[in-house]
Amino acid sequence: MFYKRLTHQIKSGRVRAAKAFVTFVFLLIVWIALTSSLNAEELAVGAISAAFVSAFSYEFLFRKGVRDAINPKRWAYFLAYLPAYILAEIKAHAKVMYLILHPKMPIKPGIVRVPTNLKTDVGLTALANSITMTPGTLSVEVNEEKSCLFVHWIDVEAIEPEQTHAEIAKPFEKFLGVIFG
């Protein structure tokens, strides 16, 4: 009995260490990408920061396990999401500029319910942040029980949940569903 428990604890300790290490490497790569520098001092600060953050947050990255986190399909969707998000951002900026510069300023602001198929906390948060970062929309509330967001929309084009989902959430959700589940 004692041996079994000890073996299990050692195994789970190795798994936690592996998760923390992969998180550390990921965060260090992000640090290097953001700083665009291989300067020793910056790398040291990045390593210390990545170690500190990964020690406390590796469980957020590995909800299902290490293999799921390094799944090439998830990373391919993440890489495809970036240009899709940037395109949505450009379209939203153009629309907001049009609304602002139009002499009559034809806006119809309102709060709409946007259903979502995402189930994880990280997925819902990523969707809410993607919506908020896009000009003209602001995520006001996340309702996990009903799996929906309430979004302030500067120019309400639809009020039916299916239509608001198609207009606001769907462009992001098809990527975030694969990345975060």
Identify the residue with better confidence: 142 or 58: 142
Q: Give the residues across from 155 on adjacent strands.
A: 108
CA distance 160 to 171: 17
The pLDDT value recorded for residue 21 is: 86
- The b/e string for 32-70 (b: 16+ C-beta within 10 A; e otherwise) is eeeeeeeeeeeeeebeeebeeebeeebeebbeeebeebe
Q: Per-residue pLDDT averaged across 37-59, rounded?
A: 90
Any idea what the Cα angle at residue 171 is, between residues 167 and 177, rounded to 5°?
125
Question: Contact, 88 vs 133, CB < 8 A?
Answer: no
The pLDDT value recorded for residue 18 is: 79
pTM over 0.75? The answer is no
Rounded to 5 degrees, φ, ψ at 14 are: -65, -40
Q: Per-residue pLDDT averaged across 134-139, rounded?
A: 89
* 63-100 residue pLDDT tens: 665 566 667 888 888 889 889 889 988 998 998 999 88
Outline where 63-147 has alpha helix (H): 66-69, 72-101, 121-133
Tokens 């900026």 sit on residue: 93
CA distance 177 to 123: 7
The pLDDT value recorded for residue 120 is: 82
Token readout for 32 is: 């290097």
* 101-135 residue pLDDT tens: 988 888 889 999 999 998 888 889 889 999 998 88
